[in-house]
Amino acid sequence: MSTRYVPSNPPFPFFLRCLREQGYDHRSMQYSDVRELYESFVHDSNLSEDAELPFASEISQARLLLEALKYTDLGVAAKVGAGQAREHRMLHQKDVKWADKKSNESKNSLFRDRHKAQFKKLQQKSGAVSKEAREIVKTTVTSAPLSRSVLAVIKQLKLAPHVLKALNVTLKVENAELQPSDDEAYALEA
């Protein structure tokens, strides 16, 4: 009996869509193929010197570590973003309910027609509001600051400046007046 490693019609399309949005790709494979690939990788030592292995570079290793360290903090940021998105959608739903109520309760036909038109516009806008809510969550997660514990780990690792720059991490130097500027450091090296 063969099972699929990742089904071609997965029961979790939302999860796959999120992965695709983050730049990951998936492909369907038979479990036996995955097993063969694993066996050949583990047991065959015929990898060439220039074979590109995942997370071989210093930057990719640091990026993986940073993602692992930020994981719980991003969950908290996602909850905050989901709350903001829910509030955004609720305001729109409140407006839709108000327009529906006014379109049914208005005594004057002119106002009733206006409220019906407003109700239709608001209903058509609900897809855009949902899209805005998703953007709110995404913005909240991507703009979440690093926690003190993550920054402490990164400081302890004493990563090179080019790695920190690649990760978009800025470390605050406690004794800035004691640290030489770039020009002074260049003069000291020369």
Residue 188 near residue 180, CB atoms below 8 Å: yes
Identify the pLDDT of residue 87: 95
Residue 82 near residue 137, CB atoms below 8 Å: yes
Residue 29 burial by Cβ neighbours in a 10 Å radius (0-12, 13-18, 19+): middle
Residue 154 near residue 66, CB atoms below 8 Å: yes
Identify the pLDDT of residue 47: 59
Strand partners, 30: 4
Identify the pLDDT of residue 121: 93
Identify the pLDDT of residue 86: 95
Identify the pLDDT of residue 46: 59
Q: State which residues of the chain have pLDDT below 50.
A: 1-5, 7, 175-190
Global pTM value: 0.56
Identify the pLDDT of residue 190: 40
Identify the pLDDT of residue 9: 55
Residue 77 near residue 144, CB atoms below 8 Å: yes
